[in-house]
Amino acid sequence: MSKVLLFWSSGKDSAMAYQRLVAEGFSVAALITTTRPEGYVPFHEVPFSAVVDQARAIGLPLWRLPLPHPCPNTLYESLMGELFRQARQQGFTHVAFGDLFLTDIRAYRAQLVEKYDLTPLFPVWLETSEASPAYVRSVLQSGIRAIITAVDTSRLPADLVGEPYDEAFLERLPPDVDPAGEYGEFHTFVQEAPFFRFSVSLPPPLPHAG
């Protein structure tokens, strides 16, 4: 029997990964998220308390891995290694990620996970970036509802923060921006999903763009 630990960033791709894992018969037993010293999820600019609410909405335990700042790669790998050791001791067999098509990141994660006798899973993996538009349509059709929590202001206007991740948002994206935001152009927070027992809101004020 599979026992999966899912890396949960709070955004749409984590939610899609969960949905697909369950559909494929995997048993997702816990979520894991990382936080910066001030208590926010890196890149997504979401407070940890909101991720706790998401985990409650799903009905799963949430593991928290606080990361120091700065966090050199050697320290990151050491902290992750301890986490994976604990997961293995608790009977986890797989670790899942919401990565889409960045092959170097996938290879790095897989190598780190396999070192601890765990199997990596990439349930929303796309073979190429050209598959992003079709993937995005599947997100919008899935019942997952998310909002934009952060943008790369060198690529997108700051006033997109707080907007729903929907067709109107996608229409505002320049042609060179990936519609899934896989290059870090923007990040999202899921408020509703078919597997949420209740809707989740971010506490005001909405986190700043970053």
| pTM greater than the 0.85 cutoff | yes
Residue 198 lies in a domain: no
Residue 73 lies in a domain: yes
Query: Whole domain around residue 102: which residue ranges?
Result: 4-192
- Based on the structure, what is the number of domains in the chain? 1
Residue 24 lies in a domain: yes
Residue 73 has pLDDT above 50, yes or no: yes
What CATH number is given to the structural domain containing 73? 3.40.50.620
Residue 207 has pLDDT above 60, yes or no: no
Residue 152 lies in a domain: yes
Residue 67 lies in a domain: yes
Residue range 155-205, pLDDT digits in tens: 999 999 999 999 999 999 999 999 999 999 999 999 999 999 999 998 775
Residue 135 lies in a domain: yes
Residue 138 lies in a domain: yes
pLDDT band at residue 208 using 50, 70 and 90 as cut-offs: very low
What whole-number distance in Å separates Cα of residue 81 and Cα of residue 84? 5
Buried b (16+ CB within 10 A) or exposed e, 76-103: eeebbeebbeebeeeebbbbbbbbbbee
Residue 161 lies in a domain: yes
